[in-house]
Structure 1
Amino acid sequence: MPFTRLGLSPALVHAAREHGFLAPTPIQTAAIPLVLQGRDVRAQAQTGSGKTAAFALPLLQRVQQAARAGEKPRRLRALVLVPTRELAAQVGATLRDICEHIAEPLKIVVAVGGVSINPQMLRLRGGADIVVATPGRLLDLVDHNALKLADVATLVLDEADRLLDLGFADELDRILALLPATRQNLCFSATFPPAVQKLTDALLHDPARIDIEPEAARAAQIAQRAIEVDPTRRTALLRQLILENGWRQVLVFVASKNAADNLADKLYRAGIDAAPFHGELSQGRREQVLADFKAARWQVVVATDVAARGIDIAQLPVVVNYDLPRSPTDYVHRIGRTGRAGEAGVAISFVSAATEAHFRLIEKRQQQRVPRERIAGFEPLDTAPASVSDPDGTGGIKGKRKSKKDKLREAAGKT
């Protein structure tokens, strides 16, 4: 179905084409008419499926219609909440790019933490039509009387699962209390674990449910590879793969900030242009690394999971899981950075004897077996553990393992 049949105005159809959207993706086809109707929407679709445009296009049209109806100009009509600074920048850029091609541009303000609040307060002078924000910075602006939420007609939670995963539950409660009771609510996410489902049940009123299967969500298939290698040989293997395959852009995921710094330094000293990317970097530095990576000035970016969402590089060819993610959900988001916009992509995971059981669980959750490979000269010497302890059947998945406090409570209960 073309954009012209989804209910969008001719100006927005033209803007979509100018922005590079030649035909709607399944999530866009399903969501756009519902958002235009004013319905609450709960939409699940895989990373890279086009969720941002699925709410951005109809949101712009509804805000424009409100402005034409004679409502007070620069009245905050739409609020988009996102979990990370990078995703906020991406969503804001999409909204602004589309606005450049319509006759009545709207004022869109992006507000994130990690930078001075003063420039954001200045941009909000005179009001705004749409604000894209991380929860903490939004509340800072409200506390500074730079922003009022009483007129918000549409609330969007983008990557809702990540919002809760990063511990924004208390901030969300405060924000919801400041919003008008009658409004449109849109909840877009790649996954809906129980905590997010509970939030949507309380938030959404008679919602339209959209569930796009992964096969329909992505135009390109991501070729997944699993290479067996001992932990101590991973850096040398990564360097060889980059050189042999001539990869010009590689996103490598590691487990911690220190690992990102150390691996990037080792690659750089080995003659590969590599930079770290993690939450401890300043916002300016993070933005510069991403801009340079998109422009192919960095060959490799070594990132923690802070980069698993919000990075949108249309032709990123390769993602490498140097360290396996802690949860199958994070695995989906990591590999979803490649194979976007109809392009082919490759996702490589390094698997050792110690992490084999964990990777099997990831395979089970995504219902796909990834054949193991061995690279000549890097055959593993470590042997698999005799047994894998997994009494609760979670395989050590993040959020499922018992904490020390849980264990102490159980011991006290038995006593």
Structure 2
Amino acid sequence: MSFDSLGLSAEILRALSEKGYTEPTPVQQQAIPYVLQGRDIMASAQTGTGKTAAFTLPILQLLGQNPAPSVKGRRPVRALILTPTRELAAQIGENVTEYSTHISLRSLVVFGGVSINPQMLKLRGGVDVLIATPGRLLDLAQQRAVDLSAVEILVLDEADRMLDMGFIHDIRRVMKLLPAKRQSLMFSATFSDEIKALANGLLDNPASVEVARRNTASEQITQFAHLVDKKRKRELLSYMIGHHDWQQVLVFTRTKHGANHLAELLNKDGITSAAIHGNKSQGARTRALADFKQGKIRVLVATDIAARGLDIDLLPHVVNYELPQVAEDYVHRIGRTGRAAATGEALSLVCVDELGLLRDIERLLKKPIPRIALPGYEPDPTIKAEPIQQGRGSRSGGPSRGGAPRGAAPRGGAGYSRDANSGGRDGRAPERRRDNDGSSRPARSGAPRRAAGSSSSSYAGNRSGNK
């Protein structure tokens, strides 16, 4: 199937052709016709399957074909795309710019962590497509810098991630600013009962799009688990990177401090590394990602801020230095490799404390993860499991399976843990701090995400680059 069979306009097809995209991914094949028909959508697809192009392409076409009259002398916001993180917002913004080359539309990306004044000035000039993180959008609305009363199409991207990060109150507040009559599209990697409840109040007779069995890892990812003592993980990781000459490795840790510490140790081992997490400035995160994509550093150590955000073309290796607290996050982490037609390898270093977490992951995948072992790195059978430390931001409780304390982190795992003084966006927090969105809000971690979907040039959207 080609893009011209989906009912896309000549302008959109021309932009796709200029980027070298000829063949839509399955989620694009299913979703684009529904969006063009004006249907609401509830879409689930594995990460890396081209979800961004599945909604941006038809939205741009609908807006381009039906120009709206100006409101108070300027262009109204006609399409609103909500994302959980600033990296994902920026990447979607790039896709919109690429695909709208031959359409007279204006787009703008707004997120925290940068000055709000330039964003306010651009909004005054009129914007057709607004890509935003919830916190900054509400800040702009509070300052009367944005009017959402003319929004025709709403996209809630990474809906499950939004809820995991505690954005449910923000989403509901944004909904009150939108017209009741609109087209709404919800895209998510997974659909929990909580997500379905949100969809029931948001969507009107939605079309269902699901291109892969839920909570499954790509068949193109080869998965292994190596049982090793916690104190020898870094030694084993350094050995495997050097012995196999891995040149590009994404490594996940549970905590920000752990990411910094591991990157420092790997650099001491002569393996160029950098850490990326919610406490890093936007500039530092952008530089680290760019250096990783350009091959200037071999290892990028990340918390779950990156689990659904990094789009690195043909990334060969993902390592779970520490298993995530929530099994679903394992799928999102390893989904950074094996995207679209590419293949990849995911290795998990598992200590005795994490055996329960490993069983949870295997139960979710409905299959065992093959064990590998390197001579000299076998775990010491006399070491007993201990509770997993989640850092200062977690809630404490009694031990649970695998040594992890019950209730150790809010839904979404340690990568999403809140600081002790944080609360909801509705002002309940006694202390306001900066989160991944960057607005003045309680601290939350987030995940960058490259939006559109395939490592092959024949697919629309999954492109690498230095963001």
| Length-normalised TM-score, structure 2 | 0.80
What is the letter of the counterpart of residue 63 of structure 2? V
Aligned: 1:291 with 2:290: yes
In structure 1, the partner of 2:376 is 377
8 Å CA contact 2:264–2:273 kept in 1: the answer is yes
Structure-1 separation of matches of 2:230 and 2:24? 43
Identity %: 49
Q: Which aligned pairs between 1:167-178 and structure 2 lie closer than 5 A?
A: 167-178=166-177
User: What is the Cα deviation at residue 187 of structure 1?
Assistant: 0.1
What is the letter of the counterpart of residue 238 of structure 1? L
Aligned: 1:361 with 2:360: yes
What is the letter of the counterpart of residue 43 of structure 1? A
Comparing 290-299 and 22-31, the one that deviates more: 290-299
In structure 2, the partner of 1:408 is none
Report the CA distance shift for 1:384/1:199 in structure 2 as closer, same or farther (over 3 A): farther
User: What is the Cα deviation at residue 386 of structure 1?
Assistant: 9.1
Higher relative contact order (CA 8 A, sep 6+): 2
Alignment gaps of 5+ in structure 2: 388-398, 414-467
Comparing 147-156 and 205-214, the one that deviates more: 205-214
In structure 2, the partner of 1:6 is 6
In structure 1, the partner of 2:153 is 154
In structure 1, the partner of 2:96 is 95
In structure 1, the partner of 2:16 is 16
Q: Which aligned pairs between 1:81-160 and structure 2 lie closer than 5 A?
A: 81-100=82-101, 102=102, 104-160=103-159
> Which has a greater percent of helix?
1
Structure-1 separation of matches of 2:209 and 2:110? 29
Structure-2 separation of matches of 1:177 and 1:282? 31
Structure-2 separation of matches of 1:105 and 1:234? 53
In structure 1, the partner of 2:269 is 270
User: What is the Cα deviation at residue 190 of structure 1?
Assistant: 0.3
Structure-2 separation of matches of 1:386 and 1:241? 25
Report the CA distance shift for 1:240/1:20 in structure 2 as closer, same or farther (over 3 A): farther
Structure-1 separation of matches of 2:120 and 2:114? 12
8 Å CA contact 2:256–2:277 kept in 1: the answer is yes
8 Å CA contact 1:221–1:344 kept in 2: the answer is yes
Report the CA distance shift for 1:8/1:71 in structure 2 as closer, same or farther (over 3 A): farther
Report the CA distance shift for 1:129/1:208 in structure 2 as closer, same or farther (over 3 A): same
Structure-1 separation of matches of 2:156 and 2:20? 24
Alignment gaps of 5+ in structure 1: 402-415
Report the CA distance shift for 1:229/1:218 in structure 2 as closer, same or farther (over 3 A): closer
In structure 1, the partner of 2:39 is 39
8 Å CA contact 2:69–2:75 kept in 1: the answer is no
8 Å CA contact 2:35–2:58 kept in 1: the answer is yes
Structure-1 separation of matches of 2:383 and 2:194? 35
Report the CA distance shift for 1:270/1:10 in structure 2 as closer, same or farther (over 3 A): same
In structure 1, the partner of 2:51 is 51
Structure-2 separation of matches of 1:125 and 1:386? 58
8 Å CA contact 1:234–1:350 kept in 2: the answer is yes
SS at match of 1:23: coil
SS at match of 1:79: strand
Q: Deviations over 1:279-322 (max 9, x none)?
A: 00111111121122122222111100011112111211111000
User: What is the Cα deviation at residue 395 of structure 1?
Assistant: 9.9
8 Å CA contact 1:82–1:157 kept in 2: the answer is yes
What is the letter of the counterpart of residue 18 of structure 1? E
Structure-1 separation of matches of 2:29 and 2:367? 27
User: What is the Cα deviation at residue 243 of structure 1?
Assistant: 1.1
User: What is the Cα deviation at residue 71 of structure 1?
Assistant: 6.0
In structure 2, the partner of 1:66 is 66
Report the CA distance shift for 1:225/1:20 in structure 2 as closer, same or farther (over 3 A): farther
Structure-2 separation of matches of 1:122 and 1:237? 52
What is the letter of the counterpart of residue 84 of structure 2? P
User: What is the Cα deviation at residue 123 of structure 1?
Assistant: 2.2
What is the letter of the counterpart of residue 131 of structure 2? V
User: What is the Cα deviation at residue 49 of structure 1?
Assistant: 1.1
SS at match of 1:33: helix
Q: Which aligned pairs between 1:137-286 and structure 2 lie closer than 5 A?
A: 137-214=136-213, 221-286=220-285
8 Å CA contact 1:221–1:339 kept in 2: the answer is yes
8 Å CA contact 1:358–1:395 kept in 2: the answer is no
Structure-2 separation of matches of 1:329 and 1:368? 14
Structure-1 separation of matches of 2:197 and 2:400? 28
Structure-2 separation of matches of 1:222 and 1:90? 24
8 Å CA contact 2:217–2:331 kept in 1: the answer is no
What is the letter of the counterpart of residue 246 of structure 1? D
User: What is the Cα deviation at residue 339 of structure 1?
Assistant: 1.0
8 Å CA contact 1:218–1:340 kept in 2: the answer is no
Q: Which aligned pairs between 1:308-327 and structure 2 lie closer than 5 A?
A: 308-327=307-326
Q: Deviations over 1:158-205 (max 9, x none)?
A: 000001110111111110000001000000000111111110011100
Report the CA distance shift for 1:234/1:218 in structure 2 as closer, same or farther (over 3 A): closer
| Length-normalised TM-score, structure 1 | 0.90
Structure-1 separation of matches of 2:64 and 2:265? 51
8 Å CA contact 2:353–2:386 kept in 1: the answer is no
8 Å CA contact 2:217–2:365 kept in 1: the answer is no
In structure 1, the partner of 2:446 is none
What is the letter of the counterpart of residue 5 of structure 2? R
8 Å CA contact 1:219–1:342 kept in 2: the answer is no
User: What is the Cα deviation at residue 220 of structure 1?
Assistant: 6.3
